[in-house]
Chain A
């Protein structure tokens, strides 16, 4: 993942997958992974063009954060709605 083009290509190719992965992680026993993946992708998801995927990802991350009692992750996931 050396160039910006490669990095963007991976994220765009996987655009729907991280959202699906975050949902799967949340509901099947990896809530910590769900909140970390959502936080990792934040600046990419917040660029505006990813709005539909961002909504799915953050609503799952919020659920995951509440499940694990991770208040910082909960707060981070909430700011999207602000």
Chain B
């Protein structure tokens, strides 16, 4: 289906919608495909993470348009204040260009409609947990529903990540893939735990995970895929030392899309080197994912898990204190940057916390 994109009926914008459950690999597929077809779009690609399922605010279309207009070379002072004016400017700039526009993690058809170009030479790829029925019906989007991996492919993912142990214990590997619901996100987390304990047979790991599942089931009678995936996350979480575990929980509170070591240090009440080490540990466990160099993001399934943990394990006061430290850091750093840039105004600025 993806290969049909870019070769749609003349006069219409081709929209491909990749839908599927959280952690199934929609973004990875979209990014992979975008790399493959880079030559088909000589005027380039635009990407935005709309954060439609984030616990924080989904990105308003107006902000996504600001980013696109900047990428297309419009100076900030020329970006119109209203969403519909920005959308009109965006559409007129795209006229005559061949571009690929990737709208990642869209929450709803309404969030993306202002971001659709009017130019048939452009192709839009949307990823969403939602089926985006409105986009299919009204805008003629072609939909690809991404399901969890077939068992053999899930085992193949484990083989790639873990290695020969998967072939030594095929039954245990298949069971482990099932325990991960054949979801790539959970498979990566589980595989990393197996890799970190090279001497342990996979069957033992599978047994450990099954025991944990039974214990968690007593707490959560859901018994669905959510519980299964939670079990894998909590298995990984339980192998963290106390400081890294707390860092993981508190990072769930961070309101932005990604975090760097200084902000993480403020949030967790540690030093920047300690925070950098914790971010590394969490990224290695696949509980965080590297974004741009030096910055780390958290998949929203994991963020949801981290927030649940912090709500249970950290007192409300501690959570409030962590965010206050983060916001103090922002104020302090912003003031330092402003003092360097505008030293004469120093005394007019509010005092730093």
Which A residues are closer than 8 A to B by beta carbons? 1-4, 6-8, 10-11, 16-18, 20-21, 23-25, 28-30, 33, 36-37, 39-41, 43-44, 48-53, 55-56
Q: How many A-B residue pairs have CB under 8 A?
A: 96
Name the A residues within 8 Å of B62 (CB-CB).
52
Q: How far is the CA of A33 from the CA of B345 in the complex (A)?
A: 19
Given A7-B340, A7-B341, A56-B63: A40 in contact with B349 (beta carbons within 8 A): yes
Q: Specify the chain A residue showing the minimal Cβ separation from B86.
A: A52
B338 within 8 A of A: yes
**A33–B255 CB distance below 8 A:** no
Checking A18, A39, A48 against B350 with a beta-carbon cut-off of 8 angstroms, the contacting residue is A39
B335 CB–A CB distance under 8 Å: yes
Which residue, of A2, A10, A23, has the highest number of chain B Cβ atoms within 10 A?
A10
Contact B255 A20 (CB under 8 A): yes
For A17, the closest partner residue in chain B by CB is B256
Residue contact A21 to B330, C-beta cutoff 8 Å: yes
A44 adjacent to B79 (CB under 8 Å): no
Shortest 8 CB-CB contacts between residues of A and residues of B: A49-B76, A7-B337, A48-B77, A7-B340, A24-B255, A1-B336, A52-B66, A36-B350
> Interface size for chain B: under 10, 10 to 19, 20 to 34, or 35 or more residues?
20 to 34
The chain B residue sitting closest to A21, CB to CB, is B330
Partner of B76, one of A1, A6, A7, A50: A50
Cross-chain contact A8 with B66 (CB below 8 angstroms): no
B271 at the interface (CB under 8 A from A): no
**Are the CB atoms of A6 and B340 closer together than 8 Å?**
yes
Q: Does B75 count as interface, using CB distance less than 8 angstroms?
A: yes
Contacts of A43 in B (CB 8 A): 338, 341-342, 345
B239 at the interface (CB under 8 A from A): no
- B214 at interface by CB-CB < 8 Å: no
**Chain B 30-73 per-residue mask, 1 if CB under 8 angstroms from chain A, else 0:** 00000000000000000000000000110000110011000000
Is B79 a contact partner of A24 (Cβ separation < 8 A)? no
- Out of A2, A11, A16, A33, name the residue touching B327 (CB < 8 Å): A33
